[in-house]
Each structure stands twice: as structure tokens, then as C-alpha cells.
Amino acid sequence: MKGESVGIYVPARAINALSIIREEIDLKGIRFFDDNPALRDTYFPGLNVPIEPAERLMEKPTDRILIMSRSFGKRIAKHIMSLTIDRQFTITTWEELFAG
């Protein structure tokens, strides 16, 4: 994933890990997405990354999308794919990321 832009869908699930490692990684190129309208254009404390709606992801896609929901990951992936036409990005679900 080095050098790729990354969209994190349901970022609240990844926020603790990102807070711990944020000094070790560059958050440039990382974007947060969530379907909850109350979170639109808000920020998590200590992270200068706004939360965007799915429409912005479709307008300007990232190279990779990490879906950080174990319960709804497949449903979210299917929803994202239904919104896209000729988009070149990779979707990685929670299950794929933490399979092992």
C-alpha cells in the first residue's frame, strides 16, 4: 500500500490504531469515509483528516479502500461497487485484512 492513496470506510473502527502509529506513518493520502450524515466534515480528535460521505469517494476515488466494519464489510463493499463505473481501486474488507 506504500505510495497509494487510502480511503478508510467506517474510520471509527481504525482510529485507535491510527492514533498510536500516526507518528510512524504519514497520514497524507489517507481519507476517511462514513455514511453517517452527522459525521460529515467532522474530525476525530488529534487527526487532521475530515470525514467525507461516499459521494466524495466516487467523485475522487482513492487507490485502495479499507472497510473497517466486520459486521457490514461485505454489504458496504457491494454498495461501493454499485456506485461505481470504471473505477480502478482495490477494496479490502476487515475479514481480508485480519484473516489469518
Q: Is residue 42 part of a domain?
A: yes
- The CATH code of the domain that includes 79 is 3.40.50
Residue 55 is assigned to a structural domain of this protein: yes
**Has residue 20 been placed in a domain?**
yes
pLDDT in tens, 70-82: 889 999 998 888 8
pLDDT tens, residue by residue, 2-42: 678 999 998 888 888 777 776 666 678 899 999 899 999 99
On whether residue 80 sits in a domain, the answer given is: yes
Locate all alpha helices (DSSP H) within the chain, ordered by sequence: 15-21, 54-59, 73-83, 94-97
What's the pLDDT at 23? Answer: 63
Is 51's pLDDT higher than 60?
Answer: yes
1 within domain boundaries: no
Mean pLDDT within 92-100:
82
The number of domains in the chain is: 1
Range of the domain at 92: 6-97
- Residue of 12, 53, 48, 8 whose CA lies nearest to 31: 8
Cell of 89: 481501486
The CA distance from 3 to 78, in Å, is 26
